[in-house]
Amino acid sequence: MIFLTILFVAIGLLAWIRLAPSDPAVWHVDPMVTADQDLAGGVRRRIPATEGAFEQLNGIILATPRTDVLAGTPAEGRVTYVTRSQWMGFPDYTTVQQNDGQLEIWGRLRFGTTDMGVNRARVDGWLEQLRAAQAEG
């Protein structure tokens, strides 16, 4: 009986992680990036917004598996994306905003207190792809 209770609680928790609604009013917010920061639960980056960079970065991000737009468009100046982990479906949120000639990027987790560098690796990987695409011309 205890095993079944634990099993149902675990299944319920996993279902909540996968099915919990993502409220744009909570997640689609100004990243307020003033400098690059590596955080326990995410990362903040700020790069120059060259012509077409936001659109290029948007394409790179949307090519990432299990990533969808939560709200916004590059034309609006801000987009928030949800990327889910492969096995557990944990959502991470990344907001990209063009502000005063800069792209501000804030990747963060939803559940837990540390992402073990996952958001930093993801965002830095996107920025590397963007730099490579811009170098190709």
Number of domains observed in the structure of the chain? 1
**Stated pTM of the model:** 0.90
Judge whether 98 lies within some domain.
yes
pLDDT digits (tens, 9 = 90+) for 82-104: 999 988 889 999 999 999 999 99
* Per-residue pLDDT, 82: 98
User: Cα separation of 27 and 33, whole Å?
Assistant: 15
Range of the domain at 70: 23-136
Q: Distance between CA 88 and CA 103 in Å, rounded?
A: 30
Domain contains 2: no
CA 90, 5, 18 angle in degrees (round to 5)?
Answer: 15
Domain for residue 3, yes or no? Answer: no
pLDDT at 8 over 80: no
Query: Does residue 133 carry a pLDDT above 90?
Result: yes
Answer whether residue 8 is part of any domain.
no
The CA distance from 23 to 84, in Å, is 16
Q: How confident is the model at residue 9 (pLDDT cuts 50, 70, 90)?
A: confident
Residue 60 to residue 58: CA distance in whole angstroms: 5
Reported as a single tens digit per residue, the pLDDT across 16-73 is 677 788 999 999 999 999 999 999 999 999 999 999 999 999 999 999 999 999 999 9
- The single residue listed with the structure tokens 């990987």 is 125
User: What is the reported pLDDT for 69?
Assistant: 98
Residue 12 lies in a domain: no
What φ, ψ does residue 2 adopt, rounded to 5°?
-65, -40
CATH label of the domain that carries residue 94: 3.30.310
**112 lies in some domain:** yes
pLDDT at 10 over 90: no
Instruction: Examine residue 103 and state whether it is found in any structural domain, yes or no.
Output: yes
Phi, psi of 25 (to 5 degrees): -65, -25
